[in-house]
Chain A
């Protein structure tokens, strides 16, 4: 038996200049905010951006971007949902809506393979992949399927975050996935703990995103997300890593 899907993934990504996983082993640190706000701000500057929400069981990128999930359009594959200009989104919510999608490990791998094999991303400057919390199938599969994968790692200054994110940084080094930078998110005091963690792993701290309670009101509005302080900080972070 041959699973043919892996053989076509490089072709699907041939027009994508950079593939960047936005990850953090810790949940609730703002990976989706960082992915969507950065993607929206980059798209507003004319960059062609794709966002793949790989948080299959907790997908919310569509909510941040104000994109109503629905079945995709097709053209020799599935097409990312257009979100404003220059931004395309693929999410499990397009297929499952807001229903629970309880998947075991091999099923997660199957879903990732399927989405990557049939999505026609076309020409993009960057594909940002919103990763779920944890260090599991999603990280392992992406590293295997996309040899040129890069990572941006998100952490809050809390010890509860940095303790877990350290494991991810060590793991990514072991997997030889280059980490382009660490982003300190939800910063209310200072970001010293994140800066110190990044220094120990030899990774630059490329962005500091302050605590922004008004962001809750921006959910569902692409315009407000683009105008958020977070988006401004994240664009600077992405410029640091050449995006």
Chain B
């Protein structure tokens, strides 16, 4: 349930972003979930919806979008994705799940085996967009499914 902690962060950040707006006007929040961190979408969604219930934007919908992980080698310039990354056992995947930067301990460039690489996309959790009803006069509605 490490996902719960990240969901709390998303809901808290949502509240901060709505500081000057009527929270009842929040319609949806789109969250990018990086493939590298391998968040369990079901648990994450459950946590978001549960935490949302305690906020004045319980009508809002959280939408998740998976962002594919992309890595780029600093030595040879090769770009690759997670499916082309060899040698990740369940323990190293779990370590990366907790701390995506742990990838630097386990992943190597598939072309030149260099440990010098950057994760250029799909690292972790980010809020991509927040959609509010522009009218600004919204009544708090029932919780969204």
- Chain A contact residues, CB within 8 Å of chain B: 1-5, 7-8, 11, 56, 71-72, 74-78, 92, 94-97, 99-104, 107-108, 110-111, 114-115, 117-118, 120
Contact = CB atoms under 8 A, between A and B. Distances in A.
Contacts of B125: 4-5
A80 to B, nearest CB: 13
Nearest to B13: A4
B116 interface: yes
B99 interface: yes
Contacts of B106: 99
Contact of A95 (B105, B116, B127): B105
Interface in B65-98: 91, 94-96, 98
A162 to B, nearest CB: 33
B98 A71 contact: yes
Contact of B104 (A1, A3, A107): A107
A96 B102 contact: yes
A77 B4 contact: yes
Interface of B: 1-2, 4-6, 8-10, 12-14, 16-17, 32, 91, 94-96, 98-102, 104-106, 115-116, 118-119, 123-128, 130
A114 B1 contact: no
A82 B67 CA distance: 35
Contact of A71 (B8, B9, B10, B94): B94
17 contacts: A1-B126, A2-B17, A3-B13, A3-B127, A4-B9, A7-B12, A8-B5, A8-B9, A71-B98, A77-B1, A94-B98, A100-B115, A101-B105, A107-B104, A108-B101, A114-B100, A114-B124
A77 B2 contact: yes
A103 B103 CA distance: 10
A111 B123 CA distance: 11
A96 B101 CA distance: 9
Contacts of A114: 99-101, 124
Contacts of A107: 101, 104, 118-119
Contacts of A2: 13, 17, 126-127, 130
A4 B98 contact: no
The 10 residue pairs across chains A and B that have the minimum distance between CB atoms: A77-B5, A4-B13, A96-B105, A99-B105, A2-B127, A8-B9, A76-B4, A95-B102, A118-B5, A4-B9
Given A4-B126, A77-B2, A118-B6, A72 B98 contact: yes
Contact of B13 (A7, A71, A99, A100): A7
A99 B103 CA distance: 11
Contacts of B12: 4, 7-8, 11
B99 A111 contact: yes
A102 B13 contact: no
A231 B74 CA distance: 44
Given A8-B5, A114-B99, A104 B118 contact: yes
A8 B4 CA distance: 12
A76 B95 contact: no
B99 A92 contact: yes
Contacts of B9: 4-5, 7-8, 117
